[in-house]
Amino acid sequence: MKPVLDELNCLLNRQPELKVIVYNGQLDLIVNVLGTSKWVEHGLQWPGAAKFRHAAKRSLKSKPLNEEDSGQLYGFYKTAGNFAFYWILNSGHMVPRDAPEAGLLMLKHILSL
C-alpha cells in the first residue's frame, strides 16, 4: 500500500487538464468512504480544491420511469473543475461486481461531464 496523493495532485495540476475521478463503495471495508472523503477534501492541493470543498453533494439517480417515480438512488457525487468524487450505495470494494447498475450509471455520468 502506497499513498497516491502526490500522483493525484500532479494529475489535477497538469496542463492541459485531465479529468480525475475517484469512486468508492459505501460498504467498502478496505477503503472506507469516510477515509477517502477526508483525503479528497483535505489532502488534494489543486486550484479547484476550495471550490470542491464547498460544492454541493448531488444524488446519482436513474431516470424516473413515470411522473410518480423519482428515480432509483444509486449514490452521490461531488464535482468541481476537472475532479469528481462518487460514493456508490450498497457496494463494497468491487463496485462493478457489487452494484453493476450503479457502476454503469456512474460511468455514463462521468462520460457526460
pLDDT digits (tens, 9 = 90+) for 51-108: 999 999 999 998 887 777 788 999 999 999 999 999 999 999 999 999 999 999 999 9
Q: Which helix (H) or strand (E) holds 81?
A: none
Number of residues in the chain: 113
Whole-angstrom distance, CA of residue 83 vs CA of residue 99: 22
Q: Average pLDDT in the 35-42 region?
A: 89
Per-residue pLDDT, 61 = 94
Whole-angstrom distance, CA of residue 30 vs CA of residue 112: 29
pLDDT digits (tens, 9 = 90+) for 15-29: 888 899 999 999 998
Residue 25, CB-side half-sphere exposure with 13 Å CA sphere: 18
Whole-angstrom distance, CA of residue 103 vs CA of residue 17: 24
Per-residue pLDDT, 1 = 62
